[in-house]
Structures are given as structure tokens and as C-alpha cells.
Structure 1
Amino acid sequence: MSNHTGGTQMSTFTSTTRSLTATPEDRALKAKHAAMWASGSYPTVVDEVVHTLGGILVETIDVHAGQRVLDVAAGTGTSAIPSARRGAEVVATDLTPELLEVGRAAADAEGLALTWQTADAEALPYSDEAFDVVLSSIGVMFAPHHELAAAELIRVCRPGGTIRVLSWTPNGFIGQLFTTMKPFAPPPPPGASPAPLWGSVEHVRDLFGDRVEEFVARQQALVVDRFTSGAEFRDFMKANYGPTIAVYRFIADDAEKVAALDAEMAALGDRFLDGGVMPWEYLIVTAKRR
């Protein structure tokens, strides 16, 4: 693949990325994020609730043999493994090596050959224009600096290649979960943006700007039938979901706050639960790199 940078604007973004992600503060932040996602059991959340989302990205753009595919913030590889099944040459990256190891074991069990690499979505260790397809399913949205992460997605995609990102929406169920937890959580680090903004069409369009074309966005909902009550949902997330675990750890010494968050999370689940089903809204954005 060519190492052409794609113009002055892309070179500026790349330089900015490298300088910001090289600071001790950023390295400490990323270490904290990696530990958060390793807490609890995110693979359980994947297996029991969200495992179908990665395949949706792969199927609808018809990933195929001969393509080089990068799954950014891949977690356990819910987009990477379906891409490999289709014969693509696949690299899966994540900040949390424990999640990659789960994905590696699943791929090995199927006899699939993928590359698994610990990497920061804001400073990907790949040359410019190295991939035909760049994917991320409810992953890159959690990188704290959205502009840097978006610039990296574009940088490593070849001109004419496809970038596809699936994210929870701000007004959907998981977006509202983060809104519910926010008053109980520690303040975000300087310059960090809320993860569910990646579920806003306008936000992602601004992030990508004129560096892409054929920008298409659509909202859909994951139908979740795993929970029978808001309290069951709350307890599942408290046991398994890193961001929820982190918030509860932050308020662990304040019984009143714990009780208040318990009540609010259960109430949120009950508001969205109808006939044993919850709709978890997400946004899929597809674009071509110019």
C-alpha cells in the first residue's frame, strides 16, 4: 500500500495524534481505560447481549477475500472474526489485551487466522492507507479524544476504501445509561468527549469532514430480551460492564449515592423494558475515504 499522507490536513492530524498520545498523562489515562474494560466480564456482555452487532457491520458492506480489514477497538473481535470467516486478511486491535485474548481463543477454535494487536485507537501503529476496510463496533466511540480517533480511522484507510462505525446513540438506551451514571461518576479528563456523541450523525459528519465522501448514516435498534426487569439489568451491568463497575467503585464509600444510583439504573431499565424486550438504539455510519 502507498504511504502517501493524503494531504497537508491529514499530516497535521497525524502529527497532533502522535504528540498528544505520547504524554505521561495520556498514557496514564489509557492504562486506566484498559483496566476498566478488563474489570468485570465484558465478554459476558458480548456473548449474552451485543454479539450480533459486529456481524451487521461486516455483512452489509460485503467484506470479502482479498481485502485488508482493520477492526479498531475490536474487543473480543465481533467484527474481526466475521470478516476472517469471509476470507479477508484481518487485524484486530484493542487497548485491553485481555479482551483480545478472548477473541484470539474464539478464532483459534474456528481455525481462523487473524492478527491480534494491543493498540490505541488514537495512535494506530500502521502506515497511512494500509487497509481497504476500517471497522469499529461500539468500540472507537469510547476513545476519549474523538477528533484524534476519527483522524486515525481515516489515515489508515486507503483512498476509496470503506470506513464503517457502529455506536450507541445519545438518546438510546445505552446513551441514557451514561446520562444516568454521569452525576455519580468522576469528572472526565480534560479534552475528553462523551462516548455517545459518536451516535450523533452531525457529530460524526463533523469529525470526518471533507476527508470522506458517500457519507451514509442510519439508526437501528438491537432487540435485547435478556432482562425481565430493570433491577436485573442493573445487577448484570454492575457485575460485568466496565464503565458501570468504575462508577460504582468511585462512590463505594457513599451508601446514599450507591442506593440512589441503584434506584435510577433500575428505573431506567424499567422505562425501556416492554414485554420482556428492550430496544438499544445505535447509529451506523459508512463513508468512503477520499
Structure 2
Amino acid sequence: MTVESDPLEADRALKARHRDMWALGDYPAVAAEIIPDLGAVLVDACGVGRGHRVLDVAAGSGNAAIPAALAGASVVASDLTPELLEAGRVLAARRGAEVEWRQGDAEALPYADGEFDTVLSCVGVMFAPHHQAAADELIRVCRPGGTIGLLNWTPEGFIGQMFKAMKPYAPPPPPGAQPPPLWGSEDHVRALLGEAVTDVTVRRQTVTIDRFGSPGAFVDYFKANYGPTVAVYRGIAGDPDRVAALDHALTELARGHLQGEEKAVMEWEYLLLTAHKRD
């Protein structure tokens, strides 16, 4: 049996590529410098408090896990990429937050049914390639009556449009994989969660980004630090024309979103959804 014909081996290879991609650049810097407060927004929306058992899925370096722990919850941060977990341990220790860091695949979480009061993910689970498998796991490990909370970039917002701009320069996705920004579509997420949840609340909000004074500053930063962008550029490094074309596409995208005369800012849109697992 060849690797290509073995679904389990193909999935292992796909997840290995995902681990490697998120280890590129410096995602902990992106989370800390660009969207430092986004995890706390989700934690607050989920009503996380003292004594709650919380799982942060695709936690990265703990953008949501650390605020949840500081709110008094008992928190497990799960991610596919060990390098991000290690960065999270350092950040948590620096902030005095007690978090359990465990490597895990969002599509096959190593936890018992109904183990957590709150299961959340901040711009994390959206990058799991098989959306229904990941959604089913979020539901499975949440206790009946517990909270599921998701914060994801929308397809129409800046990051969704960035992935659209990068798509022509990236390798084609494997069969069955779905685009990450679909998790920012209300209809898509409602369909994924289905009848397993109730009391769904959904809001579209934006986070103000004031880190980039020019389109070029944004492109340079993401080329150096954001794993998916780093990976795309590495894939076309031998073709200067394609590199120049992608530079132009991302520069023009940023130019269209930067606003303000005295201080340039961007508004990045996300979907914030909370729900309760049915009893």
C-alpha cells in the first residue's frame, strides 16, 4: 500500500505540513504585537470564570488560554505545533498564568467526552483542514450545557481577503480540505454545529490594527512572521516574477484597507460566535 493510497498516512503527512507551516516565522510575535487583546474578547464572551474547566483548541501561544487562566479557570491549551506551545509556556509564566500545554490535533482531540465546561478557539481551529471533523470534536469534548466559543476571521474581512490573494500562489489544497475563512461565515459555522447546540449568538466585529504605517510595512512583517505567508513565499522563491506579483497583490490589499491621516490603521473583521451544547 502506498502512502498516497493510505488515508491515515495522507492525513499524518498533511498535519505534519501544518505543524511545519505554523513553526515558520514568529506567530507568537504576531499574536502578541498585532492582536494581543483578541483572545480576551472571546474569553469574556464565553463568560469564563473561576472554577471553569476550559479547553483552548488550536491555542497557538495562548492568546485565549492565558486570559482564561487569569480569569480563574482551569485551562488546557492544545495545539498541533510544539514550538507554539513552548512559546506559550514562557508567556504564561511571565504573566503568572497556570496553563496546561498539550500537543493535540483539533480533528482528533485527546480528551474525554464532555470533559470541559467551555471549549473555545481564537483564530485557531479555522485552520484545521477538515471543518466538520474539527467541529464534531469541539462538540464532543464539551459537557452538556457547556459553552462553545469561536472567534474567526471572516471571508470578507482583511485576513480573509489576504488568503484569497495568496491562493493563486499556493499549492492546491488536498482533497477534502476547506478554506480557513469559511469558519468566519455564520451559515457555515451554524451548519457545522447543527442541532448539537442551542442559544447561538453571533456578532461581526472588528479589531483595530495600528502596527503598520504603510502597505509595505505590512507585507514585510507578514513575509517574515506569519507562517502561512512565509510558506507561500518559500514555495515561489525560485520565480521572481511570481514573488513580485504576490508582493503587488498584498501591497494593494493593504493599501485599500489602511485609513487615517495622522496614524494609519486597519480594521480586521471577525465573527464571534457562542453557543451551548444541548443537554
The TM-score normalised by the length of structure 2 is: 0.95
Give me the CA root mean square deviation: 1.1
Query: What secondary structure, in the 3-state scheme, does the structure 2 residue paired with 1:50 have?
Result: coil
Query: What secondary structure, in the 3-state scheme, does the structure 1 residue paired with 2:272 have?
Result: strand
Q: Could you report, residue by residue, the CA deviation over 1:18-44 in whole angstroms, capped at 9, with x for unpaired residues?
A: xxx970111111111011001011111
1:110-259 paired onto structure 2 within 5 Å: 110-259=95-244
Looking at structure 2, the residues matched to 209 and 168 of structure 1 have their Cα atoms a distance apart, in angstroms, of: 20
1:136 partner amino acid: S
Deviation (angstroms), 1:109 = 2.3
Question: Which residue pairs with 1:280 in the alignment?
Answer: 268
Looking at structure 2, the residues matched to 30 and 213 of structure 1 have their Cα atoms a distance apart, in angstroms, of: 31
The TM-score normalised by the length of structure 1 is: 0.91
Deviation (angstroms), 1:236 = 0.4
Query: What secondary structure, in the 3-state scheme, does the structure 1 residue paired with 2:34 have?
Result: helix
Looking at structure 1, the residues matched to 42 and 7 of structure 2 have their Cα atoms a distance apart, in angstroms, of: 31
Q: Is the 8 A contact 2:46 2:148 kept in 1?
A: no
Query: What secondary structure, in the 3-state scheme, does the structure 2 residue paired with 1:227 have?
Result: coil
1:64-143 paired onto structure 2 within 5 Å: 64-143=49-128
Deviation (angstroms), 1:146 = 0.2
Residues 69, 22 of structure 1: CA spacing in aligned structure 2 closer, same or farther, 3 A cutoff? farther
Unaligned runs of 5+ in 1: 1-20
Unaligned runs of 5+ in 2: 1-5
Q: Could you report, residue by residue, the CA deviation over 1:85-142 in whole angstroms, capped at 9, with x for unpaired residues?
A: 1211110000011111111111122333211000000000001000000010000000
1:287 partner amino acid: A
Deviation (angstroms), 1:250 = 1.0
Question: Which residue pairs with 2:3 in the alignment?
Answer: none
Looking at structure 2, the residues matched to 114 and 222 of structure 1 have their Cα atoms a distance apart, in angstroms, of: 26
1:39 partner amino acid: L
Q: Could you report, residue by residue, the CA deviation over 1:23-67 in whole angstroms, capped at 9, with x for unpaired residues?
A: 011111111101100101111111110121100011223211111
Worse-matched range after superposition: 165-174 or 102-111: 102-111
Worse-matched range after superposition: 117-126 or 100-109: 100-109
- The alignment covers a number of residue pairs equal to 270
Worse-matched range after superposition: 209-218 or 103-112: 103-112
Q: Is the 8 A contact 2:45 2:274 kept in 1?
A: no
Looking at structure 1, the residues matched to 19 and 80 of structure 2 have their Cα atoms a distance apart, in angstroms, of: 6
1:284 partner amino acid: L
1:29 matched to 2:17? The reply is no
Percent identity for Structure 1 against Structure 2: 59
Query: What secondary structure, in the 3-state scheme, does the structure 2 residue paired with 1:23 have?
Result: helix
2:181 partner amino acid: P
Worse-matched range after superposition: 255-264 or 58-67: 58-67
2:89 partner amino acid: R
1:273 partner amino acid: L
